[in-house]
Amino acid sequence: MLRLLDVPAPAKLNLFLHITGRRDDGYHLLQSVFMMVDWCDRLHFELRADGGIDREDIGLAPASGALPAEDLTVRAARALGEATGCPFGVRIGLEKHIPAEAGMGGGSSDAATTLLALNRLWGLGLTRRELAGIGLRLGADVPFFLGGRNAWVEGVGERITPLHLTPARFVVVKPPGGASTQRIFGAPELKRDSKTATIQGFAANVAGNQTDESDATGGGFQLAGALDIQRILAFGHNDLQPVAQAICPEVGHCIQWLEGHGLQARMTGSGTAVFAHLAQPQNLTPAPGGWLIRECANMDAHPLLDWCAD
């Protein structure tokens, strides 16, 4: 196998995002529900026998603000090669659809897809857990995408409990303005003391405390059945939203526009995209120029879930 073409990298939405503390090393502790949606970047991989690694943009939109040599996909390929001693290289083509600085995990998803694709293209045979160990060094969201399931996420992003969610549709609005993740997390006014929840408490709020027997037998906590999206949204909020809104007032404008259609809206991740659950089809009035608006559906699993063993 010399090439892998049209390999998807899905975006995610944070149904809520609580910042519960900050470690001595500066990393923030969070609790969130991460949900994949069918808004995907597309990547192409061509084997290089000479060990070289490079990336090119495909399509009209630039892949990211980073130079190709420093892009997360290139960093992921280098990290995988260094971790395994693999002599092969790769030419990566990146067709970007997920907007940058949106809080939708586009760069992290691209990195995760790169690790999964090269694990196959290079014939490495690493497990999902082994890939996640490499991915965490690239970004806190990378292990989630490698896990392959919607999830309750905590710690710095490395503690992941898979969840099943009810099928749902959403409208996502991304204004032209952006805000860097580093600037938002570094803001003095950021709330960092949201009350720490337990996944048992989360279950009691959104699923009537329905768990399987593995919780009682020490086999690990799992939630039984699919969780209702609206109840999860009611469980929490996004601690990053006030800071992002102060940096980029367009976040507030997008929220007001969606609320004007009778929808409950909030920012995802570190923004600046906002989203609303569509309980029924909506006829949205024309939005201000420059806003990117897209309807999407959640995904039960990553498209590459079966590409490697757990």
| pLDDT one-digit tens code per residue, 106-154 | 999 999 999 999 999 999 999 999 999 999 999 989 999 999 999 999 9
Nearest C-alpha neighbor of 179 from the set 91, 121, 100, 233 = 100
Q: CATH says 169-211+228-297 is which class?
A: alpha beta
**Burial (0-12, 13-18, 19+ Cβ within 10 Å), 219:** exposed
Considering the chain, what is the average pLDDT of its residues? 90
CA angle at 166 for the pair 227 and 274, rounded to the nearest 5°: 95
Confidence of residue 289 (pLDDT cuts 50, 70, 90): confident
Q: Where in the chain is the domain with CATH 3.30.70.890?
A: 169-211+228-297
Count of Cβ atoms closer than 10 Å to residue 143 Cβ: 27
Q: Where in the chain is the domain with CATH 3.30.230.10?
A: 3-164
158-214 pLDDT per residue, tens: 899 999 999 999 999 999 988 888 899 999 999 999 999 999 889 888 876 455 434
Q: Where are the beta strands (DSSP E) in 23-133?
A: 28-48, 53-58, 89-95
Query: Does the structure show a pLDDT above 50 at 216?
Result: no
The pLDDT of residue 89 is: 97
Catalytic site residues? Answer: 12, 141
Query: Does the structure show a pLDDT above 50 at 218?
Result: no
Which carries the bigger pLDDT value, residue 1 or residue 244?
244
CATH topology of domain 3-164: Ribosomal Protein S5; domain 2 (3.30.230)
